[in-house]
Amino acid sequence: MISQELVESVEISFEILEHAIRTMCYSELDAFDVDLFGQDLQLNLEENIQFPRGKFTTHENIVRTAQMSVSLSFAATAIAMDCLFENVNTLDTDSRAAKEVIKAVRNAFSHGIAAPTWFVKSHKLAKYDLGFVLGPIVDLETLNRSGFDYSQIGGLAVWYRLKEHVLSL
């Protein structure tokens, strides 16, 4: 049986991804008050942490960082779904394809957060059909060692349908 914590991790990771996408869209629309957003910030904790003015004082820097946040959040969804799959014993053909693609995506991001790169072990070099979620056939042998692009897995819409498949297990 899959623990509720693993299910919640998947749900929360996708909420964080949505938040990152929304933040990126707002930043790309130049909807941030750069002066306010880029000001000195101090977190009053047991040991205070201070973030000085400087890094987020231009529209371009805010957009670039927001785009990277989407990438990091996307990686978190792959990690959360992969962790959930580690607790699933019986897998049909579609679920096995989902599991292997998700694991490969997780690995791509673990080999380069800023520039994710497919890194697939030789025994995993296969084609996985994501047609059950209206996605493409993902050929990990062809993709191996190349840069990751969302279109290679059918885009974010397919990723969200994969999430629904994973949660249905």
CB 139 within 8 A of CB 111: no
Q: Considering only CA atoms, which of 45, 65, 47 is closest in space to residue 56?
A: 65
Residue pLDDT, tens place only, 151-161: 999 999 999 99
As a whole-number percent, the residues of the chain with pLDDT over 90 amount to: 86
The pLDDT tens digits of the residues spanning 39-56 come to 999 999 999 999 999 889
pTM of structure: 0.92
- CA distances (Å), 122 to each of 104, 119, 129, in order? 12, 9, 18
Confidence of residue 169 (pLDDT cuts 50, 70, 90): confident
- What is the per-residue pLDDT for 1? 56
